Amino acid sequence: MSWMQRDREEGRQEGREEARPLVQQDVIRRGLRRRFGAIRAEHERAILVASPRRLDQWMDLIFTAPTADALFNAPQDDERGA
């Protein structure tokens, strides 16, 4: 692999890593709107500041959480001993 190809691939990987949280945030917003209607301001703020790990957890829980509040108040993985 030439240095140009390597640099191009590294740039692609960095772009994917930077885009991942944005995609996660969009998926959570879409799930919230579909299941619970409008997204409250405090939930939007939580989405914007959440870690990638927390976003992953919310993406899993969006399917089973009975309410939006239950989703955002769920213990974090490390709080549950996971």
Residue 82 has pLDDT above 50, yes or no: no
Instruction: Output the CA torsion sign for 11, 14, 20, 26.
Output: negative
Within 10 A of 73 (CB to CB), how many other CB atoms are there?
10
Residue 11 has pLDDT above 70, yes or no: no
Task: Give pLDDT tens digits for 13-72.
Answer: 665 566 689 999 999 999 999 999 999 999 999 999 999 999 999 999 999 999 999 999
Q: How far apart are the C-alpha atoms of 42 and 34, rounded to whole Å? A: 18
Residue 10 has pLDDT above 60, yes or no: yes
Q: How far apart are the C-alpha atoms of 72 and 54, rounded to whole Å? A: 10
Place of tokens 């969009």: 26
pTM passes above 0.85? no
Q: How far apart are the C-alpha atoms of 78 and 82, rounded to whole Å? A: 5
